Amino acid sequence: MHEDLFNISKIKKAHLIGIGGIAVSADAKFLIGIGKIVTGSDMHDSEIVREVEKKGAKIFIGHKASNLDEDADLVIYSPAVPFNNVEREKARKSGIREMSHTEFLGYLSREMKTIAVSGTNGKSTTTAMLGLILEKAGVDPTVILGSRVPWFAEGNLRAGAGWRDRYKLAHGKVPLRQRRTGVPQYCGTTSFIKGGKGIRAQNGIFVVEGCEYKAGMMELNPEMIILTNIEEDHLDYYKDLKDIKRVFKKYVKKAEKSGSVVYNADDKNSAEVMKGYAGKKVGYGVEKELKIKNQELGNKKFPPEADLLQRRISLWLKPLAEEIGEKRSPNVIAKDIRIKNKRQCFEVCQNGKKLGEIKLRVPGVFNVYNALAAAAAALEIGVEFKIIKKALEKFKGIWRRFEIAGDYNGAVIISDYAHHPTAIRGTINAAREFYPKRRIIAVFQPHSHNRTRKLFNEFVESFDEADFVVLQEVYDVEGRENKNDKISGRELADAVRQRRISCRDEACLRRQALPRLRRATEDVIYAKDLKETGKILRKEIKKNDIVLLMGAGDIFKLKV
């Protein structure tokens, strides 16, 4: 798409298909915010649908041609909405402009100086962290992401500089939490923030998730790319990991001439993608010596804190460290990682210079990496470390990312979006880190038959650290399922159970696993739906348990 082919100021009415999704709903809020008439449709009523309705959108449940008004100027659709959707067909027959969600983000990225956060895991959290850092620095960014952020007035959207006057015209005032004005106070004279002329400089900075599904990130036009990690996923679109890396290699070249790439130097696949990249690049990672030192601890007996650190290093970092090789040389490094008073503490160094300590409120080694990514990007564009530190230490997490959702009979209920084996393993390990003496109940709703089938063995291994596992039926993803990929959650439960029976070596389960194996046939249960899952949990949950509700479907709706 080219700038001269689309002008948002000429749009009066837009219709959004899949408006109940976390991504497209942000588009709807943005358009409503700048005074556009918005209608939309979704297959299901939901909290998000009702939220957007309250903003002023007219929303239909179910897809019908009659939902789309003839006088609409634009149709935006979710990537999951197929070409033959009846509303899309009517749009084409009526000559109404069609645009995917990622194409719309691409348009916005041409209107603003853009930082795109991409990768298999950690996109939403890293985007939120960087958004908070820039907000605290007075940069006043526009942010769109695939989650809800408690301190953003619109949750999954923050409308920043450049769009403020349009919000004023549409609503007469600016949301209180977004009244930040003026030039950045702490950012020196960096050209990224202050430099440039024309519409992009006037509209400010845009921080956005660049999703890899259907290569959606290729629609963006970023000055900076943050690459969190690269793994096999979305194999209903990509052929294999090689294909994924090929597309990412093409993607990072978007920033090669005049921008920069901030990438995870500890991730083998990201490092491979960056080979041959001729532009400016900034690597981030965890102190290599720390990883090697703790990998050598073996199975000896250590004080609880040292044993915990050894386990988190071996579970999360060792697989990466073994593949990195000696050429790894990150610019921004976390050193001396430790847990103290329910905080993840670590020292940050940039190019060998110690900047200071950060104490994260959110658990998990993956969040150390997310924080490093946001910090490295902020440092690159000129934000002082003291502002980065202050922002990250205030960060309390976002919707469905290790979110405390409630309690039941003295047990803590945590909701998490984890739907990839690496994310599941990381979430369970995070619970182990912050609640080392508690029983962990992992509840997982597989998302997409294709992902479940293609990554089956990885899923089976990802529950090793859980004490009790409930595996629900696979969530059917609208518009993405193929009957040849059909697989049952029962098959996954059987395989996890069999692994526990056969894998009696403590080194394999990485914990004192034998007591659990004595009841291995009982501690992995299949549930056909949310109702049955709730029934199982009400019977099984004990005081002080930690219950993890994981998945990208509707598992978060579970009522215990």
Closest CA to 463 of 417, 505, 432: 432
Instruction: List the alpha helices (DSSP H) in 137-204.
Output: 164-171, 191-194, 199-203
Classify each residue of 413-443 as buried b or exposed e, where b means 16 or more C-beta atoms within 10 Å of its C-beta. bbbbbbbbbbbbbbbbbbbbbbbeebbbbbb
Would you give the DSSP letter of residue 475?
B
For residue 234, which phi and psi values (nearest 5 degrees)? Answer: 55, 45
The verdict on whether residue 382 carries a ligand-binding annotation is no
- SS3 label, residue 212: coil
The verdict on whether residue 122 carries a ligand-binding annotation is yes
The verdict on whether residue 196 carries a ligand-binding annotation is no
The verdict on whether residue 125 carries a ligand-binding annotation is yes
Instruction: List the alpha helices (DSSP H) in 303-420.
Output: 304-312, 318-324, 365-380, 385-394
377 Cβ contact list (under 8 Å, min separation 6): 115, 130, 224, 226, 262, 282
7 Cβ contact list (under 8 Å, min separation 6): none
194 Cβ contact list (under 8 Å, min separation 6): 183, 184, 187
The verdict on whether residue 181 carries a ligand-binding annotation is no
β-partners of residue 284 are 264, 332
The verdict on whether residue 119 carries a ligand-binding annotation is yes
- SS3 label, residue 310: helix
Rounded Cα distance between 475 and 488, Å, is: 10
With contact defined as beta carbons under 8 Å apart, do 534 and 470 qualify? Answer: no
Report the binding-site residues for ATP: 119-125
Report the binding-site residues: 119-125
